[in-house]
Structure 1
Amino acid sequence: MKKNTPIDLLKENIAVLKFKQEEDLAILKWQLETTFDSLKPQNLLKSAIMSMTSVTG
């Protein structure tokens, strides 16, 4: 069995962090896109109309 040196462990940790960073970036882009779409004037108007016409019990 190969013994892990501190350099090997560091490289492995860097690879894990890079993967997590890419994942987080993809999630952030999706959230930004979703927020941008919800703030478009047509969607704001649609949301306002839906909330005014909804029946509350």
Structure 2
Amino acid sequence: MKTNNETEELNQMILVAQAQNETDLRLLQEQFELTYESLKPANIIKNVFHNMTNTPDIKDNMVSSAIGLTSGIMGKKLVVGSSHSPVRKVIGTVVQFAVTNLVSKYTGGFSAIAGNMFKSFFNKKSSKTN
């Protein structure tokens, strides 16, 4: 027969195992809740936008693309105007594509040139009012 000492040790080991099991179960439930919350569509979208706005490369690329697209549309409007000619529309689309690509590739240079143009324009305007 087993002695009391061995039985007590066995009971103690069972209690430790049960406590560990309860701790593991609680941690698993908490992790499940976190995973469930993170997989909700609203949280996924929020995380994507958060990552996009906090990543400098993506932010710079978005700004470059927006500036390029805006410049391309303005270039097309200048070429086509209010014309209904299919030839002018095709030329306008080609101009839009070319300007968009050039400006989005070289945004830094175009930004500096545009900034200088605005500064000189506003400096001339303010010097005329003085």
Q: TM-score, normalised by structure 2?
A: 0.39
Instruction: Choose between structure 1 and 2: higher helix proportion.
Output: 2
- Identical residues among aligned pairs (%): 35
* Residue identity matched to 2:28: L
Instruction: Give the paired residue count.
Output: 55
Deviations 1:11-47 (A, max 9, x none): 1100011011101110110011001100100000000
Point out which structure has higher relative CO (alpha carbons under 8 A, 6+ apart).
2
Matching residue of 2:29: 29
Instruction: Give the ranges of 4+ consecutive aligned residues of structure 1 lying more than 2 Å apart after TM superposition.
Output: none
| RMSD over aligned Cα atoms | 1.8
CA distance, structure 2, for counterparts of residue 11 and residue 18 of structure 1 = 10
Structure exhibiting the larger radius of gyration computed from Cα positions: 2
Shift of 1:6: 1.3
Matching residue of 1:40: 40
